[in-house]
A and B are shown apart, each in its own frame.
Chain A
Amino acid sequence: MTRLLSSELLKLRTTRTFYALTGAAVALIVIIAVLAAALGKFKTTGTPGRDVLSVAGLAPLFALVIGVTGVTSEFRHGTITPSLLVEPVRTRLMAAKLAAQLIAGLALGAVCYAACAAIVSVLLSGRGIATGMSTSHWIGAVIGGAVASMLYAALGLGVGALLRNQVGAIVVVLAWVFVIENLLGIIPGGFGDAIKKYGLSGVGSSLARTASHASRIGQVPAGLLLLGYALLLVIAGTIIVRQRDVSS
């Protein structure tokens, strides 16, 4: 188990894709947060701290893509064959991949949310703008964001294992988050509201405490719901990986 996990972590660390994705996530979040916190005009009645922190919501999306590539790149390049030669029990390989993705997602989320929170609190207080967030709020948001990134990475792994086609799987997860959920969300009535609240984006931002009041659910239910989504997809993906023949 430790051996497999260490191998999976080494797989992540020995490709440029991983560094490109994590680097891009951190760079984008830092740049946008600095610009927004330094130049943004905030209403006195608003919640400026939370608004700018929501920029860090990019981290779970990057974690999602990293999760997808964690398994689809093996199928894309055929490295699944040597991987399964070393660990023929596919459930074990998937579990090691899951553990590696949880670690990577958690680390990425923690760095991004902590950096963003630091930038926001320093710059806003420097400008004399009240962030509207207490210390425990900040801590809760950073931990929630890190956990959201962790679970998004797991979810991506599940989708990747289900679809196996790298480009297809990335298009599907991004289209879901950016297009489909938004379209479903504008359906008037209860269904649209439910999507905003319980959809992937809604649950993610509730977990990171960056959701607006209207679509917010508690951090614990949001976390459990996201855990449920991730588990469902990881289990489904693992079943598919177990059953499929690997003939590249």
Chain B
Amino acid sequence: MLWVVVAVVVVAGIVIAVFGWDRYRGGREAAGNGSHAEPTGEVFVDTESGRRMRVWYDMATGRRDYRPEQPSDTALRAELLAAGPGIDQQDHQHEAQTVEGGHQPAAAGAGQVGPRVRPATAGGGHTDISVAIRVTGLTKRFGKTVAVERLSFSVAAGRIVGFLGPNGAGKTTTMRALVGLVRPTAGTATIEGRRYSELEHPVQTVGALLDGDDLHPGRSGRNHLHVLARAAGVAPARVDELLELVDLTNAADRRSGGYSMGMRQRLGLAAALLGDPQVLVLDEPANGLDPQGIRWLRNFLRSRAGEGCAILVSSHVLAEISQLADEVVVINHGRSVLQAPLAELMAQGNGGMRVAGPDVARLAELLRADGAQVEGAGHGAIVVSDRTGEQIGRMIAANGIVVSELAAHGESLEDVFFELTGYERGPS
């Protein structure tokens, strides 16, 4: 009988060893301090601040960070960073958020995480909540196929960023890389400064909807959520709450194999919201939803963003994005075509900005004097084709002009999109 005991002990030992090793590694990574970090040759321009950023590599933890690049003396800069305090405030933001990877505003809502005390690292204890999602030089190859190539963009807290691109442009690959399902060939994709697998409470930090079809057809919708809630340490009551939110309470106990596409999508959305996260990554969330569902989703995402949630949402329904997003990231063949506020993107097309009001004639003169292309549009309105809304707004303010309307004119987002990606209308 002794051997039974021996076998059980051996199995238990192995299980403990596996868990212990992970915890040990996790602990080491958490405790890793910035002083091991070395600057690499990789530099990019931060779209948020317009600053040059350099990628740093920490050999002890294998973590890649990015810090503002100083044109002057990189070595001195590294010393200053290692020393900790005494660096100007502006720089703090970027360093702290990446080096410490620290801030988790989502956690408070779920009641899971208290404030975390971490060993002092380069840059001190400041954290930056403004940039929630950051993709830096992301490249992913599947064999010889390049899915994503040197893609960089960011999503700030409180912003909804539309992720646009034709089918096969690399949107889904990028989103999967962001949540650790796909391993990047190069570059990083981080959430609140950390890779997804390094997040202590991933579900409470990020909610992801990648494919609403990811359901076991024999399991009920309610049990699907319970399985995930248990693993995430989310209270069972939250499941009922979410089923109510996505209007699935009546169907919750049926096998999910019989659900319509819209119901699956709503269940997927409920799963993404389990931990009440402050970051949402949604791949085609409107897929299969009926018009009421789409409107509900739009209002819901708007209100989440209003509460400070950072939302990255991909879609092929361009009209949907144009009604929802603050900014858009357009990619094509895995490369970034642009990241810009939506209004600016609309203005980039030939349609330009439409301005109306009693004083537009004077504004037209001023703009023409500034070298802008201005055309009359009748009914006391003009169309300015090579100025952004902000540029025109500044001119309006500077000259005390009264306007009744200032809006992107003419081309739809669709036209701009086709122009950017070089795709013609119709299936490609």
Hey, which bits of chain A sit against chain B, CB under 8 A?
A: 1, 3-4, 6-8, 10-11, 14-17, 73, 77-89, 91-92, 95, 98-99, 102, 140, 143-144, 147, 219-220, 223-224, 227, 231, 243, 245-248
Which one of B2, B4, B181 contacts A81 once the chains associate, using CB atoms below 8 Å?
Answer: B181
Q: Is B321 positioned at the interface, with any CB of A under 8 Å from its CB?
A: no
Asked if A78 meets B19 with Cβ closer than 8 Å, knowing A88-B180, A140-B1, A245-B182, the reply is: no
List the A side residues contacting B196 at CB < 8 Å: 88
List the B side residues contacting A86 at CB < 8 Å: 202-203, 228, 231-232
Asked if A85 meets B211 with Cβ closer than 8 Å, knowing A3-B233, A77-B216, the reply is: no
List the A side residues contacting B203 at CB < 8 Å: 85-86
Q: Is the pair B18, A78 in contact by a Cβ cutoff of 8 Å?
A: no
List the B side residues contacting A7 at CB < 8 Å: 227-228, 230-231
7 more A-B contacts (CB under 8 A) besides A11-B227, A81-B210, A223-B7?
Answer: A3-B231, A14-B218, A15-B218, A82-B214, A85-B208, A102-B11, A147-B4
Asked if A91 meets B18 with Cβ closer than 8 Å, knowing A3-B230, A77-B217, the reply is: yes
Q: Is the pair A78, B213 in contact by a Cβ cutoff of 8 Å?
A: yes
Q: Looking at the assembled complex, report how far the CB atom of B269 sits from the nearest CB atom of chain A, in whole angstroms.
A: 12
Q: Is the pair A147, B7 in contact by a Cβ cutoff of 8 Å?
A: yes
Which one of B11, B179, B227 contacts A14 once the chains associate, using CB atoms below 8 Å?
Answer: B227
Which one of A1, A4, A78, A224 contacts B3 once the chains associate, using CB atoms below 8 Å?
Answer: A224
Contact with A along B1-36 (1 / 0, CB 8 A): 111101100110011001101100010000000000
List the A side residues contacting B202 at CB < 8 Å: 85-88
List the A side residues contacting B226 at CB < 8 Å: 10, 14
**Distance, CA A22 to CA B230, complexed state (A):** 24
**Distance, CA A11 to CA B227, complexed state (A):** 6
Q: Is the pair A83, B173 in contact by a Cβ cutoff of 8 Å?
A: no
Q: Which residue of B lies closest to A102 (CB)?
A: B11
28 residue pairs of the A-B complex, CB under 8 angstroms, read A3-B230, A3-B231, A3-B233, A7-B230, A14-B218, A14-B219, A14-B226, A16-B218, A17-B218, A78-B211, A78-B214, A79-B216, A80-B214, A82-B271, A83-B228, A85-B179, A87-B202, A87-B231, A92-B19, A92-B22, A220-B3, A223-B3, A223-B4, A224-B6, A243-B183, A245-B176, A246-B176, A247-B176
Interface of A is mostly: helix
Asked if A10 meets B3 with Cβ closer than 8 Å, knowing A16-B218, A86-B203, A246-B176, the reply is: no
Q: Is the pair A227, B11 in contact by a Cβ cutoff of 8 Å?
A: yes
Q: Is the pair B216, A73 in contact by a Cβ cutoff of 8 Å?
A: yes
List the A side residues contacting B197 at CB < 8 Å: 88-89
**Distance, CA A4 to CA B224, complexed state (A):** 14
Q: Which of A84, A147, A245 has the most CB of B within 10 A?
A: A245
**Distance, CA A84 to CA B11, complexed state (A):** 24
**Distance, CA A86 to CA B183, complexed state (A):** 17
Q: Looking at the assembled complex, report how far the CB atom of A208 sits from the nearest CB atom of chain B, in whole angstroms.
A: 12
List the B side residues contacting A87 at CB < 8 Å: 202, 231
Q: Is B154 positioned at the interface, with any CB of A under 8 Å from its CB?
A: no
Q: Which residue of A lies closest to B206 (CB)?
A: A85
Q: Is B199 positioned at the interface, with any CB of A under 8 Å from its CB?
A: yes
Q: Looking at the assembled complex, report how far the CB atom of A7 sits from the nearest CB atom of chain B, in whole angstroms.
A: 4
Q: Is B322 positioned at the interface, with any CB of A under 8 Å from its CB?
A: no
Q: Looking at the assembled complex, report how far the CB atom of A209 sits from the nearest CB atom of chain B, in whole angstroms.
A: 12
Q: Is the pair B15, A99 in contact by a Cβ cutoff of 8 Å?
A: yes
- The 3 A-B pairs at the shortest CB distance, nearest first, are namely A220-B3, A7-B231, A78-B214
Contact with A along B226-250 (1 / 0, CB 8 A): 1110111100000000000000000
Q: Which residue of A lies closest to B226 (CB)?
A: A10
Contact with A along B184-222 (1 / 0, CB 8 A): 000000000000110100110000101101111111100
**Distance, CA A143 to CA B5, complexed state (A):** 11
Asked if A6 meets B4 with Cβ closer than 8 Å, knowing A16-B218, A78-B211, the reply is: no
Q: Is B93 positioned at the interface, with any CB of A under 8 Å from its CB?
A: no
Q: Which residue of A lies closest to B233 (CB)?
A: A3
Asked if A84 meets B218 with Cβ closer than 8 Å, knowing A4-B231, A147-B7, A220-B3, the reply is: no
Asked if A88 meets B7 with Cβ closer than 8 Å, knowing A14-B220, A79-B216, the reply is: no
List the B side residues contacting A81 at CB < 8 Å: 181, 210-211, 214
Q: Is B315 positioned at the interface, with any CB of A under 8 Å from its CB?
A: no
Q: Is B223 positioned at the interface, with any CB of A under 8 Å from its CB?
A: yes
**Distance, CA A77 to CA B268, complexed state (A):** 14
Q: Is B339 positioned at the interface, with any CB of A under 8 Å from its CB?
A: no
Q: Is the pair A247, B208 in contact by a Cβ cutoff of 8 Å?
A: no
Q: Looking at the assembled complex, report how far the CB atom of A24 sits from the nearest CB atom of chain B, in whole angstroms.
A: 16
Q: Is B172 positioned at the interface, with any CB of A under 8 Å from its CB?
A: yes
The residues in B between 120 and 152 inclusive whose CB is less than 8 angstroms from any CB of A are: 142
